[in-house]
Structure 1
């Protein structure tokens, strides 16, 4: 990539490729007609949005709040804390995102092997939050920061399939799309609100605290899971 314009063009090209995949393979992704009809006739909206769905919505808000701080502000806090260039910070962030993809693949296998999806989330996020706090101390050599981002991205990716399985568990029959749509708005809420707090920390030259806040959001999501563990999700 030579500049931001090239990166933007590549991002757009990937989107076009995905659209073509959906156009030519859309039949495999269509909801069963009987299930869709059942949603219309038997599942009122109020029963789709139950307490379990609300808790998962809040979970999405917290996790996206943590993630946006780690990723969107990496070109700012990594140079400030570790003296690297913006380009190096971008490479480190790429390591996190690539390892996240690998973690998602492993997480899919793990989600099929265990019914304790909540435990997968708690363990993975505990590791992730710990790594965020350690990186926030600014005491690590750069190569360990890269390692922390690699491990953090991997464990963060492990969460994704188990999280989606939990959404499936709380969704009424035939209402999975509606429930997914509702809880997924939590991503937008978190990504829309949390940057205000992160920006305020950077304006106050509290760069370390940015990562601590990201870790705190992650801990809050763990506490939310523990709170709901013995309840019907």
Structure 2
């Protein structure tokens, strides 16, 4: 049974570098805000813990709420993107993220924070189906590796920007002012995208009707590699969650790192990850080796995490190790995206990326519940050892994707 496309196919004529770069830049800017919004609360945990008299586990639960909602929306939004096109869905997602940031800022109770975490999760859930549909359909195939690289770089820069912007604003003014600044940034990016909306247009056609069409739209779920990609991103999300929310503090406690220096670890990790993705974009030019690149990059990251758990280092070495870990993980980024691209039917991008990246949200929802409790019990070494173990599982799952992959051009 063949898939029925509701979006225009990739252009047959050569696409100019300027046109490709415009799409990459706009999609990357939106991706940056998505990742930025994922870390609106984590850098402010010390302020929120005191303001609302809650534990790390309770604060981690806010992240769980966010990612559970995002997961559900992400899986469904892929179908909506394939039906209506990515542009209106992207604009709606950015609007909700901006509103949620302002909602956080005016919250007067833990449960208000939880309610706006739901709103933020709804907004965040649309980005991967939207972004990858735009990249895969509007960027010329020879530049896809670089497009994935730009997409990953801007995401990492969004994560790096969150603590770099929010923490100084919270110190100078308050955590509420910091979150208002975050909401303002989201709406500024929305304006930029709206002014360039023509570059984000994909023509939609009337969908096929009837039971056969419904069955066709779900046929991609029968592809084993899709579910192996889902598992891969589940473990990848746990790695991300630990690095973002808990690893810097765990390393600070183990190696007696000053607070200001420890606060730089995440930003250094993300900036170095962005640099690694530049290199990874060139390496991803050969799709046949993407699993080996993923294994090598995350393998180095696992060694560094193990050293942080078991070694003894001067305080200044810890941010350097986070930088090495980020760079090596960044190299694996574009090849990671190719794992999904090689398992995706050409006309089902939104649906496949929505389901596969739901694994990302589920992992980020589960991880704070486990590692937040470990942090509350001062199991700092265990947090870093858990990070090492998860990186090992991640490498194994990448090779499982290759093992089960088959060309998904049609389903019988």
TM-score, normalization: structure 2? Answer: 0.52
1:17 paired to 2:188 = yes
Could you say what secondary structure the match of 2:316 adopts? helix
Q: Is the 8 A contact 2:237 2:363 kept in 1?
A: yes
Post-superposition offset of 1:177: 1.2
- 1:30-55 Cα deviation digits (max 9, x unpaired): 34547x968x9597233222211111
Q: Is the 8 A contact 2:269 2:323 kept in 1?
A: yes
Pairing of 1:211-226 with structure 2 (within 5 A)? 211-226=384-399
With 173-182 and 18-27 compared, the bigger mean Cα shift is at 18-27
With 14-23 and 90-99 compared, the bigger mean Cα shift is at 14-23
Q: Select the residue among 196, 199, 203 that pairs with 1:28.
A: 199
Q: Is the 8 A contact 2:304 2:325 kept in 1?
A: yes
With 132-141 and 108-117 compared, the bigger mean Cα shift is at 108-117
* Alpha-carbon distance in 2 for matches of 1:101, 1:125: 15
- 1:160-197 Cα deviation digits (max 9, x unpaired): 22122221111112111111111111111011111111
* Alpha-carbon distance in 1 for matches of 2:287, 2:400: 21
Post-superposition offset of 1:84: 2.0
The structure with the greater share of residues assigned to helix is 1
Q: Is the 8 A contact 2:287 2:335 kept in 1?
A: no
For 2:303, the equivalent position in structure 1 comes to 130
Structure 2 residues not aligned, in runs of 5+: 1-167, 407-412
- 1:38-83 Cα deviation digits (max 9, x unpaired): 8x95972332222111111111110110111121114531331121
* Distance verdict in 2 for CA 1:43–1:157, change over 3 Å: farther
Could you say what secondary structure the match of 1:230 adopts? helix
Post-superposition offset of 1:230: 3.1
For 2:218, the equivalent position in structure 1 comes to 46
Structure 1 residues not aligned, in runs of 5+: none
Paired positions, count:
231
Post-superposition offset of 1:138: 4.5
Pairing of 1:163-202 with structure 2 (within 5 A)? 163-202=336-375
TM-score, normalization: structure 1? Answer: 0.88
* Alpha-carbon distance in 2 for matches of 1:103, 1:63: 17
With 222-231 and 49-58 compared, the bigger mean Cα shift is at 222-231
Larger Rg: 2
Q: Is the 8 A contact 1:53 1:167 kept in 2?
A: yes
Pairing of 1:63-78 with structure 2 (within 5 A)? 63-78=236-251
For CA contacts below 8 A with separation 6 or more, give which structure has more relative contact order.
1
Q: Is the 8 A contact 2:246 2:375 kept in 1?
A: no
* Distance verdict in 2 for CA 1:139–1:47, change over 3 Å: same
- Root-mean-square deviation (CA, aligned residues, Å) is 2.4
